[in-house]
Structure formats: C-alpha cells, structure tokens
Amino acid sequence: MPKRISPSSTGSTIPAKLEGRSRVVIEHVTPEIDGGEFPIQRVVGEAVVVEADVFGDGHDAIAAQLLFRGPQDKSWRTISMQPVEPIGIDRWRAEFHVERMGEYRYTVEGWVDPFTSWRRAMKKRLDAGQEVHVELEQGGALVVAAAKRAKGADGKRLQEFAARLNAAQDPAKAPDASAAAIDPALDTLMQKYQEHAYCTRYAKELLVSVQRPLAGFSAWYELFPRSTAPVEGQHGTFKDVEARLPYVSSMNFDILYLPPIHPIGHAFRKGKNNAEKAEPDDVGSPWAIGSPEGGHTAIHPRLGTMEDFHALQAKAKELGLEIALDLAYQCSPDHPWVKEHPEFFRKRPDGTIQYAENPPKKYQDIYPLDFETPAWRELWTALKGVIDFWVAEGVRIFRVDNPHTKSFPFWQWVLAGMRKTNPDVIFLAEAFTRPRLMYRLAKLGFTQSYTYFTWRNTKQDLTEYLTELTQTEVVEYFRPNFWPNTPDILHEELQRGGRPAFMSRYVLAATLSSNYGIYGPAFELCENRAVKEHSEEYLDSEKYQLRHWNTEAPQNLLTLIARVNEIRRTHPALHSNRGLVFHKTDQDHLISYSKTDHEQTDCILTVVNLDPYNTQSGWVTLDLKALHLEPGASFEVHDLLTDARYTWNGERNFVRLEPGRAHIFSLSGRR
Amino acid sequence: MPKRISPSSTGSTIPAKLEGRSRVVIEHVTPEIDGGEFPIQRVVGEAVVVEADVFGDGHDAIAAQLLFRGPQDKSWRTISMQPVEPIGIDRWRAEFHVERMGEYRYTVEGWVDPFTSWRRAMKKRLDAGQEVHVELEQGGALVVAAAKRAKGADGKRLQEFAARLNAAQDPAKAPDASAAAIDPALDTLMQKYQEHAYCTRYAKELLVSVQRPLAGFSAWYELFPRSTAPVEGQHGTFKDVEARLPYVSSMNFDILYLPPIHPIGHAFRKGKNNAEKAEPDDVGSPWAIGSPEGGHTAIHPRLGTMEDFHALQAKAKELGLEIALDLAYQCSPDHPWVKEHPEFFRKRPDGTIQYAENPPKKYQDIYPLDFETPAWRELWTALKGVIDFWVAEGVRIFRVDNPHTKSFPFWQWVLAGMRKTNPDVIFLAEAFTRPRLMYRLAKLGFTQSYTYFTWRNTKQDLTEYLTELTQTEVVEYFRPNFWPNTPDILHEELQRGGRPAFMSRYVLAATLSSNYGIYGPAFELCENRAVKEHSEEYLDSEKYQLRHWNTEAPQNLLTLIARVNEIRRTHPALHSNRGLVFHKTDQDHLISYSKTDHEQTDCILTVVNLDPYNTQSGWVTLDLKALHLEPGASFEVHDLLTDARYTWNGERNFVRLEPGRAHIFSLSGRR
C-alpha cells in the first residue's frame, strides 16, 4: 500500500519571511551599470528609458510599473510600464524625466493582474457562446474588491458594474452582465484601482546622477593666459584674458578652459620646444606646478591676483562663458608640499624624492604623488582641499590632468563627495589610456572625458567608435568630449591636410559629440607645424614658451566656428548623442550621420567630405525609418551653413563637397 | 596672498575601514549570471574558465589570481591568471576543474606587482645604458622583503640576489648587480614569494552548481509502460517493462523515462484520440493523476506494486539504465488531495473547484494547484513531499511536466533544497514556452530543459538557435535536451518526410546536443501518422489508449540509434555543447558542424542532409582553425557510421548524401 504524504513529512523549512505568492519575476533591468554598482549619468531635463523582463508562471496577465524618486521626493513616483514590441517577449518599458540635480533612484515592480486575465478569458468565452454566469460572478468579486479601494464617484460606478456582473444568474440579465464584463469603462476603472497583490519589487534600487545641462552639452575653448598679451614677448595676464573674452564669446563657446594658473617650478625647468635645459627667461611648463610662491591654491604672480581672477570670472559670466581650471595633481620639486608634506612622495634609497619616469625617459621636473603612502588619508584630504579651495573661489568646472595615473579609490571618494555637496561641479577627465580605465573613471563620477576621436579619421574608424560610444551601455555613463587638437596633440591629419582638414575635423567634433572643445587660437588659425616629422607635438609649443597669435589672420575659421556653435545651440538634436544614426554612403571619403532629439521634433543630418585635398561626390543612402520619413517621400533639406535648400527624394540622394566641406542639414517633412 | 591649504581644511571624512591603497580594480567577471544571483552549472570533471577585467591606475604591472573552493574545501585554492590576447586589453583568464558534486565558489583577486614593474623598467634603463645604482638598490629592497617571507633554500637565494643588487654602488660590482636584476631565476623566485600588498578582491563570490556526469551527457528513452504487454489489448505492467529493458539497453540509452505511473482519475476522463467522453474500457491519460486508489505517491494498480517498481529499477541498473519518473503537479477531480486539502485548489463562486482552462477550451479532468492559496506553505511542503517520497524509493531523475505553470519561487526553494540534500537528483524541465521563462527555470536549478529543437528544421534556424544556446551566456546555466518527438509533438517534418526525416532529425539531436531523447517505440518505428492534418498530435495517441508496437518492423532505426549512442559514449567531444562550431556549406540542404572537447583531444565533424526526399551534394568549407588543422593540410576523416575513410585536403571538401543520411566523422591529423 503506497504511503500517503502529508504536509509535515519533509524536514525542509520555508524561510519565515518569504511571501511565496509573489509569482512575478523581474530580470535584466536596463540601464544597470555593473549590477547597479554605478549610477547612470543624465542632465536636468533628460529622459531615462527603463526596460525590464517582467513575467510570471503560467498564462496570467502581468502588470508592471516603474518607480523613481528624485533628491527631494519623500516617496516613490510611479509610471505604468508597457510591453515592448514584439508583444510576447516579456520585455516592458517606461520612461521618466529628471528635473533636478542630484541623485535619482529607480526600480521596477510587477504583479499578476487578475482582472485583465479574467477579462481576456471572458472575451474568448463570450465569442465561443459559452454559458458564463459563474465566470461573470468571479469577475464581480474582483470588481467588488476594487470598489472598496475606490472613493466617491469611482467607487459608486464600480459598485454598479459589480451589481450587473453578479446578476448574471438571472437569464434575463445575463446579456447585460456580459456587456458589462467587456465594457472598456470598467477596464479603465479597474486599472485605476487594481490591487498590486503579491507584488514583486526588483531587488535593487538603481541610481541616476543628474547634473546641470552644461555637463551634457558644451563647447570648450582652451587658451594659455600667458599668450594673450597685446604686445609680442610680454607675459599675458588675467586682464589680457579679460580683453580676449569677447573674441571667444563671439565664436559662441560656453567654457573657457585655462591650463594651470599656478606658480611654476624652477628646478629642472624645461626650455623652449621641451629643451632639457631652460634659458633664464624661459617661462616653463604650467604643469610643473609649485614654487616658493605657492602650490595648487596659488596664482602665478605674473598672471595676476585672486581679485583679477574673480574679475575675469565675472566678465566671462557676463558674456555667457564659464571659466574652467586645470586640476593637475603633481608637483614641481619647488612645490611647498615637498617640504611640508614629504610623506606625500615616494623616497628613493638615496633619500631623494622619486621623480616621474617613463623608462628610459626621466621627468625630473615632476614629482608624482604617492597613492600608496601610509599617509594616504592625509594626501586624499589635501587633494580634495585643492578642489574645495577653488570651488570656494567660484570655480565649477575642472579639466583633470591624467586622472588615470591617480588611484581609482581616491576618485571614487572625492567625486561621490562632490556629487553630494556640489552637484553642479563638472569634471572633464583628460585620460588618453586603455578603454577600461577610461570607462571606469566615468563610472566613478567624471562628468565628461577626452576620447580617441583625435585618432579616428576614416569613415570606418569613426563609425565603429561612435557606435561603441552611443549604441552600447557606454552611452549611459560615459560622456565623450571630442577635441580635434590639444596642446599635446597635433594629429598628422591636421599637419598634412591644413585648413580643409581643420574644417572637417571641426564639424565632425561639433556635430558627432554634444560636448567638444578646441585648443585655440592654434586651432582656428589652422596652426599645423609640428616640432618634427612623425611627432604630434607643436613647433614652438605654448607648453614651454609664450606665443603671440594674430587672430585676424586670413586663414582663420571664426565664421565657421561661430555658425556651428550657433546651430548647436538652436538645435536640440545636437544636445545629446543618443539619437545618432549613421547613413550609408557609396564611397569612403563621405561620411553621413543624423541626430534626432528624444522627442523626435528636431533632426540634423550631416555629411562631411573627409578628404582635405579633393572635391568628393557620391550617393548617400538614408535610413528613412530612423529619420521618420516615409519611404519614397520628398522632403526639404536646409543647409544651415550655406542657407541653401534642396528637395530630396527617397533614400538615395547625391552630394558633392569641396575639400573639407560639410553639409549640416535641418530636415523638414518628417512624421 | 593665496591661502595655503592644509590636510585639515576639509570636512569630508574618509570611511574608517577603507584601505585607500588598494589600487586595483576588478570588473566584468565572467561567468556571472544576473550579477551573481544564480549559479552556473557544471558536471564533475568539467572546466570553469573564468575571465575578468583587472587593472590599476598608471602604468604599474598588475598580477591576478583566481580563487575557488569546492564543497569540502576549508579554504580557497588559487590559480594564477594570465592576460588574454591581445595583451593590453586588461582582460585576464584562468580555469579550474570541478571534482565533486555540490556547490563551488569562485572569485578573483588582483594587486600591483612592484617587482615586475621594477624589472620591466630596469631592462629599459639598462638598454639605454643609464647609471642605475639607486634603482638597483630599490629592487634590492623588494628582494630583501621577499627573502623574509621565503623559507630555507629559497630565502637564502633571495638574500644572495639582494646582496648583489645592493652592491651596485661599487662600480666594480655594478655589472653583476645589473645581471642579477634581469636574471630569470630571480623573477621566478620573486613571483613565488610576491607580496599581495593592498590586494583587491572582487566583491562577489560566484557559484557553480556541480552535478553528476549524467546531468551533462545523457540519452533518454521514453515509453508508456501500459503499452508493453506482450499481447495486444492487454494493459502492460512493470514486469512487461522489465522484459523490454534489454531492447532499450541494446540501443545504448542511459535513461528510461516513464510517463506518470499513478492512479488515473475517472471524472471527465478523456477517450481515445482525446474524445470528450471516454468509453467504459478507456484507460485515460496518465497525466490526469489521482483516484480513490491514491495520488502522486501511489502506483497505478494495473502497473504493479512498489516491489515491482523496485525490481524494475534493479534490473534497469544491471543493464546500465536509470529509471526517470514524471513529476506532473496537477490533480484529477478524484485525487485524494481534493478532499483532504481543498485549500490547495481555487474555488469558483458556485463552490466547485476551478478546473484547467485555455479559454474557450475547458479541461475539466484536470484541477491545477493554486499557488496563491493562503495555504501555500502547506502546498509547497506537500509538493516537495512527493519528490522526497520518490527519492526515498530510489528515484534520482525526474522529468517535470509544465514547470512554467507552477510558481518560480516554489521551484527556487525546492531545487535549492535538493541541491543541498541530494545533489545527484536530475530535473528535466518540460517547458515549451517563451525564452525568458525557460531560461529562468534553468537559473533556478533545473538540470536540463526541453527546447525549441523540434521546430528548428532549416539550416539557418538550427544554426541561429544553437548559436544562442552555445555561444552566449546561456551555455553557462541552461542545458538543452533535444527531442525530435514527444507524445505531444509529431512535427510536420516527420509526418511528411517519413523514415529519412526520422534519421536526420535523430542524428541532429544526438550530435548537436549532449543531452537528447526520443519517445519510443513510436520514434524508432518511424510512426508518422497524425490525428488530423496540421496537427502535431499522434493518431491513436498513447496518451489516451494502449498501443501494441512491433519493434521488429523492417523500418526500425535500431541499428542507427545503437551505433550513434555508442559513438556518443566513445567520443568526449560529444559530451558537452561548448565546443560546437558550424562550418559553411554551399547549399541549404547540407548542414555541417563540429564538436571538440575542452582538452582539444577529440573532434567529431558531422554533415547532415536535411532533405528527406533527395540526394544532396555540395562543398563544405571547414573552419580549419577551429578544427586545429593547418591551412592546406591533408587529413583523414573516418565516418563512424559506415567505417569509410576519406582523405580530405584543405578547407573545401565535397560531400554527397542520400535522403536523411549523415556523416559522423572522427578527425585525425590535428595539431
């Protein structure tokens, strides 16, 4: 005789706190960076599109909602999630907009929706002509329960529906009960008052770091203050920079970034063109920070005073510009910390301090900080003190020199703290290193980052790189900032291609990336002389000497730059990189891509001739669907650079561009 | 005068427990399922290949190790990780083998390796002919520290090296010090005694669920015990099944799976060919479980007794077969639970119990269990009791009927418990539902799963599906079990294609998937008559009636099946799906793929003619690199089905196969 089992016949216990009736599973929530360890990045006003796999066992209908809350919300706000096409893949989606700086959180809930299950089944039963009075009463019970949760008029209407459903036993009233069951008004009411019974909440709360709009959309201009003197050979000052502000502002830049403004060391100072020995009148590299006159919180005496700096900030603000400083955590041998905090540096066996090296090269003018010092807590605190100092002086933007050579835990700590106390501060990582390190810095909280753009010059390289930056998870946390040149990098493409190369590289940077910058006036004057062949270093680099620039030289690109920055400001499509789509061209010198804003109201289509030597022509094959254009449609493209207007037809259209030229089209006629 | 900052000038605190000098980052460890929430699955003897991004700031050399431990290890075992090609992408790899059933854990550690950094720099300095005595002493300090950690002879040798390095100040001894610095023997010793200073350990411990080999490599044979009577029209018994065992064993199967063996309900019993009303002598569906004679722990009286069942198990074991039972959690209206535990079922408003439905279809012979009952704890315990009961009776393999219609939390609880108490128990999920549900069941602990194989018949469909199953993360936790037929599914391909279709579908199942099964004798007798056109149901299905099979009918596939199962047993390449690679063919009726074992010692190349009507020929273009063959090499292919041997040359080779035929080649001449 077989044994009869009983509920007590097993010893395994069920966890006391478990709610075993929570039947819904939530998986693969996106965006989620490294299992939720890091926040995604957004700016005020942007959307966060959240998706999740939400499903239950069996065939019951499921409902899901997105929960989110901002820095000032006391409780969750909710948005109903909708199934993603194709239906049946158990993927759900909703979006919310971030409205304030600071930290947002989001997560997902799902539950079995008995009313929808019942209604779906009821329709099929009615279509099959079945006798359904018991099933109608099942629905009646659900409606009665909802009526108790509802208030006022809604409660009363639900009670009326329940009464109609529960009258189904009377054959005379059965047709009315059936009609009530599938009445859309009942469905709407039931959705409003549905019970989230045995709701499953996703185990993690995911984070959004929300910054101000400039974090996501910015045009940077870098100049060396000491090269702004009106008279050649003189050392420029903050007052001279002030006089240069209208020039920068006329090109419609947002940020004026100054290389280090601190006293410069004398020991092992480098001469012009990086000569190993400086002449007595050589000015030294601004990145060799510190002298007896002070370190990272001091101002180079020849630039001016703190009052001058404040005056410069104020004048810049008037002209719509913000001043960004350089944060270069390294010291010249003359830096005050060398004497005051020798524990911040590594000692060599002979008692001297370890200088920077890239063996066999020695950089004896630079002492790196030792992030493995036993005094690391004091070091971190001192380094944070530098930021705090300049924040107190009104600085809100830092370009951080080589952050990848400082320890990641330090950045994690200092950036998390800044996000809490000063969420408006922007940090641009000047990291040119391996991809994983660059992405890590972004995850730790760098607002923007330099990129490999400078070395991506062909159509294929640009397409692949931008696809990685905008079509993968990277887009959620890493904000690229494209620089066609920097004081360290004069790419061969610019050296050889001259002015047309400067033009095309400029348009690429400014339209591919919502954040970009140039190092001027070298850039807009098309300065392309390298110190020697196969070098990316400038001849007579401003890193080691004063320069005097004639900003009115005929080859200047002021008009182009001013116009492109104006187009950028006017067109929301260019304020983000999320809507980037590449379009096919039938030859490799022509690259074409479009950007569309999240609301699909604005669309900019760019075509660039990558060849700085020859006019190029060919056919662009547009992805009409991505552009929200009907197949075979006729539409107008308006070149915002030349004001020319063309009528294009369907997906294939012909373009012809002179060396380095580009079209920046605004599209109309879209759905 | 600028302010001077001091370490105390900021209020932000650094967490007290933080070790800020741990500079190494560990990210993206694989395999890691859903952030480490679920274990990966392996069988005893298999390898686990672990990769991770490991990197630090700056340019210091990094070292990494894999940590793992098995169910009986008291501490971690470690294996040094090696950089993955191309070097410089910061990806590291190591592997370990699992040796016992139960739960393994693994994680990753990384640290900065100062000796390697120093040695690398020293080589460059020496190559440049620099004066390096201070740098040699730096290395000397590292070696002295290692000497203190080392014991015996190693310690002494390290002391000697240290002395040579530290003598570098003496110009006469400098060359010897330089030689010592780059001596590989010193490097080996230093690696052995390196200090893991400020080591970073990955934040998670990841899990491996290790099962017995049969979990990963198995051939299943399903039959209805009641159809095994020697005389047509009689109800078969366990004794009849016993008599059939040599037949099953002669085909080299591993598992004999029996549909439910429990008493069958009478209420609403279905008749032959699923007739709505049964005739008095109709035997009913075995899945309508439960009658006054008992429920899930009872045996159908016409099959025999528990003693008969034990005898069957014993006889099967002698022949190398294991008996698998069906776990179908549902009840007929006559099941004892309906009276004893009415709280396990859902009630309708009229007081009756809710029967199964797929509106407008009603299955009044089946009562589903209510996983939302307030008595869910009692229900779970009772359901687990069924498994415990049969495990106590010696059963170690369950085919689980429709697990996706029972709640996921229940499976998570019951399977986790079984892994702890009985890691040798195998659960095959009979889930034919949406992908996310199927994968979820595997993550929760199902050992194997039915798949969409039955509906993947073209070269493209098979290639895409197998690529998803074997080349994505899915391979880590989901073990497919391929069934060309089941009592519920007679695919159109078999109905139309007849014997050649049965042959090709069989070879595909048995060589593409390390786990597969057939429902016999219907399969090996090429039974292809459907109940009606466009239906996948069998005519005169055994689900509703007894059948009498002539296993000696001339069309039988016994020889093919026995041979393929023998090949499978002999060739380790077929024991896993990890080494699967598809090879190009120049026409769609020919599919070609190979499998190689983890140690690269065994390789099986299969070519199948998917056309059941015509002989097909064409060129196979082999991926020689995947096969470890030299370009242009000449090599022998040995057809294990026909014993023919061919010499093939290079990547392109010609094949010609009759309808439904296949080559199963063993390859020799590989590197």
B85: which 2 tokens? 């090609």
pLDDT in tens, B530-544: 999 999 999 999 999
Q: Answer yes or no: are the C-beta atoms of A655 and A628 closer than 8 Å.
A: no
Closest CA to A341 of A375, A305, A301: A375
Spatial CA neighbour of A566 closest among A522, A601, A604, A596:
A604
A352 Cβ contact list (under 8 Å, min separation 6): B134
For residue B57, the domain's CATH number is 2.60.40.10
Question: Contact at 8 Å (CB) between B261 and B300?
Answer: yes
Q: Is residue B15 predicted with pLDDT exceeding 90? A: yes
Determine the Cα–Cα distance for residues B257 and B520; give it in Å rounded to an integer.
10
Here the tokens at position B343 are 């709280």
> Is A262 an 8 Å CB contact of chain B?
no
The structure tokens listed for A499 are: 């002015």
Query: Quick one: pLDDT at residue B215?
Result: 98
Range of the domain at B603: 580-667
Q: Does residue B359 fall inside a structural domain?
A: no
| pLDDT tops 60 at residue B8 | no
Would an 8 Å CB–CB cutoff place B160 in contact with chain A? no
**How much of chain B exceeds pLDDT 90, in percent?**
96
> A306: nearest CA in chain B?
B2
Q: Which of B53, B341, B409 sits opposite A20 (nearest CB)?
A: B409
CA distances from B233 to B259, B276, B530, B545 (A): 19, 22, 21, 10
Whether A432 and A540 share a structural domain: yes
Instruction: Let me know: does B23 contact B198? Beta carbons within 8 Å.
Output: yes
Q: Are A613 and A659 in contact (CB under 8 A)?
A: yes
Tokens of A156: 């009363």
Q: Is the pLDDT of residue B30 over 60?
A: yes
> Which two three-digit tokens encode residue A484?
């066609």
In this structure, what are the phi and psi dihedrals at residue B403, rounded to the nearest 5 degrees?
-65, -20
Q: Do the Cβ atoms of B111 and B24 come closer than 8 Å?
A: yes
Distance from the Cα of B441 to chain A's closest Cα (Å) equals 10
Neighbours of A358 (CB within 10 A): 10
Q: Which residues of A touch B2 (CB under 8 A)?
A: 294, 297-299, 306
pLDDT of residue A197: 87
| Residue B3 pLDDT > 90 | no
Whether B371 and A409 lie within 8 Å, measured CB to CB: no
Shared domain for B316 and B390, answered yes or no, is yes
- pLDDT, tens only, B223-246: 999 999 999 999 999 999 999 999
- pLDDT score of B671: 67
Decide if B430 is catalytic: yes
Q: Copy the structure tokens of residue A348.
A: 């060599």
Candidates A320, A215, A293, A298; CA nearest to A562 is A320
The verdict on A537 and A592 lying in the same domain is no
| Contact list, B468 vs chain A (CB under 8 Å) | none
Position B527 pLDDT exceeds 70: yes
Residues B497-516 pLDDT 10s: 999 999 999 999 999 999 99
pTM of the model: 0.95
A430 is catalytic: yes
Final residue belonging to a domain, choices A182, A210, A238: A210
Q: Are residues B533 and B585 in the same domain?
A: no
Note the helical H segments in A167-322: 174-181, 184-192, 238-250, 306-318
| Tokens describing residue A55 | 């499903």
The CATH number for B472's domain is: 3.20.20.80
Low-confidence stretches of chain A (pLDDT < 50) are: 1-11
Q: Given CB atoms, is A422 within the 8 Å cutoff of chain B? A: no
Residue of chain A nearest B166, judged by CA positions: A349
**Residue B646 β-bridge partners:** B637
In a domain, B633, yes or no: yes
Helix B174-181 to helix B133-149 angle, to the nearest 10 degrees?
50
Cβ A434–B348 below 8 Å, yes or no? no
pLDDT at B390 exceeding the cut of 70: yes
Residue spans of beta strands (DSSP E) within B154-308? 200-201, 206-211, 218-222, 255-257
Considering only CB atoms, A371 lies closest to which of B23, B36, B134, namely B23
pLDDT of residue B88: 80
Asked whether residue A236 falls in the same domain as residue A297, the answer is yes
B4 has pLDDT over 80? no
Copy the structure tokens of residue A83.
């199934």
Residues of A in Cβ contact (< 8 Å) with B27: 34, 436, 440
Count the alpha carbons within 13 Å of A652 in the hemisphere toward its beta carbon: 3
If one counts the domains in chain A, the total is 4
Largest alpha-carbon pair distance within chain A? Answer: 110
The confidence score (pLDDT) of residue A671 equals: 67
Contact A20 B410 (CB under 8 A): yes
Q: Where are the beta strands (DSSP E) in B177-296?
A: 200-201, 206-211, 218-222, 255-257
> What is the spatial distance between Cα B433 and Cα B403, in angstroms, rounded to a whole number?
10
Q: Is A7 on the interface with B (CB under 8 A)?
A: yes
Burial of A90 (0-12, 13-18, 19+ CB in 10 A): buried
User: For chains A and B, what is the number of CB pairs under 8 angstroms?
Assistant: 240
Separation CA B634–CA B647 (nearest Å)? 7
Q: Which residue has the tokens 């093919």?
A: B560
* B405-425: burial string, b at 16+ Cβ within 10 Å, e else: bbbbbbbbbbbebbbeeebeb
Whole-number Å distance between alpha carbons of A14 and B23: 42
- The verdict on residue A250 lying in a domain is yes
Indicate the residue among B542, B572, B602 that finishes a domain: B572
Residue type, A374: P
Instruction: Specify whether A568 is located in the same domain as A606.
Output: no
Two structure tokens written together for A328 = 């270069």
ipTM here = 0.94
Residue A232, burial from CB neighbour count under 10 angstroms (0-12, 13-18, 19+): exposed
Task: Examine the domain organization and report whether A433 and A299 are in the same domain.
Answer: yes
> Beta strand A322-327 with A397-401: parallel, antiparallel or unpaired?
parallel
Quick one: A619 and A519 in the same domain? no
Interface contact B57-A124, CB threshold 8 A = no
State which residue of chain A sits closest to B432, comparing Cα positions: A58
Domain-embedded: residue B534: yes
Contact between A5 and B358 using a beta-carbon 8 Å cutoff: no
Domain CATH number, residue A632: 2.60.40.1180
- B300 and B443 share one domain: yes
Bridge-based pairing state of the strands A397-401 and A426-430 = parallel
| B27: nearest Cα among A480, A373, A404, A436 | A436
Q: Do the domain assignments include residue B342?
A: no
A359 inside domain: no
How far is residue B350's CA from residue B346's CA, in Å, rounded to a whole number? 12
Cβ pair A603, A571 in contact under 8 A: no
CB pair distance less than 8 Å for B360 and A134: no
* Partner B, chain A 62-121, Cβ-Cβ below 8 Å: 88-90, 112, 120-121
Test mutation, B4, B6, B8, B10, chain A, max A CBs within 10 A: B10
Q: Give the closest residue to A656 by CA, choosing from A605, A617, A611, A620.
A: A617
Select the residue of B18, B360, B440 nearest A25 (Cβ to Cβ): B440
Tell if the CB–CB gap between A359 and B5 is shorter than 8 Å: no
Identity at A163, one-letter amino acid code: A
Mutate to test the interface with B, among A4, A57, A303, A355 (most CBs of B within 10 A): A57
The amino acid that residue A15 corresponds to is: P
The DSSP call for residue B264 is B
> Looking at the predicted structure, is the pLDDT value of residue B545 above 60?
yes
What residue type is assigned to position B288 of the chain? A
Inter-chain touch B21–A371, beta carbons under 8 Å? yes
Give the pLDDT mean for B549-556: 96
Please tell me whether residues B102 and B143 are part of one structural domain: no
Q: Considering CB atoms only, which of A7, A58, A137 is closest to B378?
A: A7
B144 contacts chain A (CB < 8 A) = no
Strand segments (E) across B126-238: 200-201, 206-211, 218-222
A625 Cβ neighbours under 8 A, 6+ residues apart: none
Q: Do residue B413 and residue B520 come from a single domain? A: yes
Using only C-alpha atoms, chain A has a radius of gyration, in whole angstroms, of 32
In a domain, B121, yes or no: no
DSSP H stretches of helix in A422-487? 435-444, 459-471
CB contact under 8 A, A437 and B90: yes
Amino acid at the residue A428: L
Q: What is the pLDDT of residue B437?
A: 97
Q: Is the dihedral of CA A196, A200, A204, A210 positive or negative?
A: negative
Residues 524-563 of B with CB under 8 A from A: none
Cα–Cα dist A670/A599, whole Å: 13
Is B340 inside a domain boundary? Answer: no
Q: Residue B530 pairs with which residues in a beta bridge?
A: B538
Residues of chain A in contact with residue B409, where contact means CB-CB under 8 angstroms, are: 18, 20, 22-23
Do A384 and A483 fall into the same domain? yes
Q: Which of residues 180-219 of B touch A (CB under 8 A)?
A: 198, 203
Q: Is B421 on the interface with A (CB under 8 A)?
A: yes
Whole-number pLDDT of residue B670: 74
The pair phi, psi for residue B411, each rounded to 5°, is: -60, -40
